[in-house]
Structure 1
Amino acid sequence: METHSAHLTKETRAERERLAGILGGLTPEQWDAASLCDGWRVREVVAHMTMAYRTRAIGVLAGLVRARFSFNRYADRDARSATRAMSDAELLGLLRRNIEHPWQPPGGGQAGALSHDVIHGLDFTEPLGLPPAPPERLALILASTRPRQLKYFGVDLGGRKLAATDSDAVVGDGSTVVAMTSKDILLVVTGRRPLNDVPQTSR
């Protein structure tokens, strides 16, 4: 029987393959389009997704020191530097060569690796009107959502429970249940979209 970790690994690789396929069909104008990450185009998002494949631990530490230990500041500088140094084709090639890369975010495990790819995938597929990850894959990420993650993204559900209409995902423990797609729940809980901006059905 496949273990949960093995399943997450398989889903992570499948998501990287899916995103590489999408990116391979983008026009230069789409690579230059704004993403859901403030100030980043599609190419900066892809550069960020490849950061773990381009940098060694000592390089990350040095970058953090220069960024006064702000990971967001360091990640922004790294993404912009990478897009100046590499073409879109080179970034895509790097992503493709590392579909089976074992990287996991510190403390995040394999679920964190899958979350990283799926969430940043949404950062460019959503504004471009392209398909998100399958609901079942999104549900794997939503299942690991905890209050500290909502706090990190500055999200307050206001006593509401978000229930997916296309998977078994549920986030929050409020008395008011709000139904929406798995994709919209993930956009809300990661601070990409205000809860009140999403079409909802309360029950």
Structure 2
Amino acid sequence: MSMGFRYATGRVLWEFARARASLDRTTDRLAHRDAAHHPDVRLAGFLRDHARHPWRPPVGGLAAALGHDVVHGLDVTVALGADLHGVRLCAEDLDRSFGTGEPLYGTAQDLLLIAYGRRLPAGRPHGADCHRFVAA
């Protein structure tokens, strides 16, 4: 969650090229490197130290910044992976749905994680195709 304001643009672009233009591989590699080189208290400190930093994502404005922080904050507790083809996400705690196809039900928080490619623990999403979005 802190790479956007801790790493210089040139460093991120170098890592991006090294990861064959995959943002997932880039961020995963940098996160693993950070975890190997910093104790947990320091990793948490990166967030505290930059809590008021004016960083914004390159696209999407404040809404994207909020989505970024919520999703990566939830990453702390949920594993990664997912494809939304043929699925309609139906939030049970909001009057909202997204997509077309077989309904997948869950909390808005869980569906946001799924929309960002995360897999959830068994029992969290439910619907005919829920197995596609559950961590193995």
TM-score, normalised by the number of residues in structure 1? 0.51
**Distance across 2 between alignment mates of 1:85 and 1:108:** 32
| CA apart distance, 1:88 | 0.9
Shift of 1:113: 1.5
Greater helix share, structure number: 1
Q: Superposition pairs for residues 167-186 of structure 1, below 5 Å? A: 167-174=94-101, 179-186=105-112
Counterpart Cα distance in 1 of 2:65 and 2:71: 10
Percent pairwise identity: 40
Q: 1:119 aligns with which of 63, 71, 76?
A: 71
Report the count of equivalent residues.
124
Any gaps of 5 or more consecutive residues in structure 1?
1-48, 128-152
Distance 1:154 1:163, change over 3 A: closer
Does the aligned pair in 1 maintain the 2:84–2:115 contact within 8 Å?
yes
3-state SS of paired residue (1:125): coil
Which of 102, 115, 119 does residue 189 from structure 1 map onto?
115
TM-score when scaled to structure 2? 0.71
* Distance across 1 between alignment mates of 2:15 and 2:114: 30
Q: How does 1:1-203 map to 2 (within 5 A)?
A: 49-126=1-78, 154-156=83-85, 158=86, 160-174=87-101, 179-193=105-119, 198-200=125-127
Gapped regions of structure 2 (runs ≥ 5):
129-136
* Structure 2 contact 78–118 (Cα < 8 Å) conserved: no
RMSD value over aligned CA atoms?
2.8
8 Å CA contact 1:64, 1:74 repeated in 2 = yes
Letter of the structure 1 residue corresponding to residue 83 of structure 2 = G
